[in-house]
Amino acid sequence: MALPEFKQNFLKDCVSAGALKFGTFTLKSKRISPYFFNAGLFHRADLLRSISSAYAHTLKAHAEADASFQWDILFGPAYKGIPLAAASVDKLADLDLAKYGQKSYSFNRKEAKDHGEGGNIVGASLKGKKIVIVDDVITAGTAIREAIDIIKREGGELVGIIVAFDRQEKTPTATDDDGKPGPSAIGEVRKHI
């Protein structure tokens, strides 16, 4: 089965921008990987449009396939998730203004602000809202778990997570003595929810 056009375009743009590279790379976790994904390279308008279009079309397709999938806010964890959430909610409004024109986005500050409006959430309040996390990559799931904790603390309800790149890595097992890989990072995030 062929990939939808928006996914094909996104993958082509990842390679042409150098955001998806193949070779030998040492990750933050010190693991060696045959590929590297850097969404920070989507800083040009055409590339930001490509990645936000991929997110928007994916969210729209999921909502059309499952009528129970309802959300109010796209939450972009600091820092790379911030422009992704903002651009994606804008792209959704382009796709269907009547359906998505009143949707919002929010993001967190790394440090809480103690003046002005204060707090560490910028954008729409999460309290009582249905939230979808928008982020670039999931490797170990650490950033996603932190975002889930923020959403819970702020009184929001997590209803979905969308990432551009899932490394499909396995986490280490608790004992690591049986030689078997642990659960996937996504599996660990599901437990956290």
Residue 17 lies in a domain: no
Range with the poorest average pLDDT among 19-33, 53-67, 94-108: 19-33
Residue 185 lies in a domain: yes
Pairing of strands 73-76, 104-113: parallel
pLDDT in tens, 61-77: 999 999 999 999 999 99
Give Cα 41 distance to the centre of its chain. Answer: 16
Residue 122 lies in a domain: yes
Residue 131 lies in a domain: yes
Residue 42 lies in a domain: no
Output the domain CATH number for residue 105.
3.40.50.2020
pLDDT of residue 184: 65
Task: Name beta bridge partners: 76.
Answer: 107
pLDDT of residue 119: 75
Residue 165 lies in a domain: yes
- Residues whose CB is less than 8 angstroms from the CB of residue 153 and which lie 6 or more positions away in sequence, other chains included: none
Residue 22 lies in a domain: no
In three-state secondary structure terms, 161 is: strand
Q: Domains in the chain: how many in total?
A: 1
pLDDT in tens, 32-90: 889 888 888 999 999 999 999 999 999 999 999 999 999 999 999 998 899 999 999 99
pLDDT of residue 131: 98
Side chain identity, residue 8: Q
Q: Which of 125-136 are b and which e, b meaning 16 or more Cβ less than 10 Å from the residue's Cβ?
A: ebeebebbbbbb
Residue 30 lies in a domain: no
Tokens of 18: 């150098």
pLDDT of residue 54: 95
Contact 90, 100 (CB under 8 A): no
> Residue 97 belongs to what domain range?
47-192
Catalytic annotation, residues: 113, 115
Q: Measure CA of the first residue to CA of the last residue in the chain; give whole Å.
A: 32
Percent of the chain with pLDDT over 90: 56
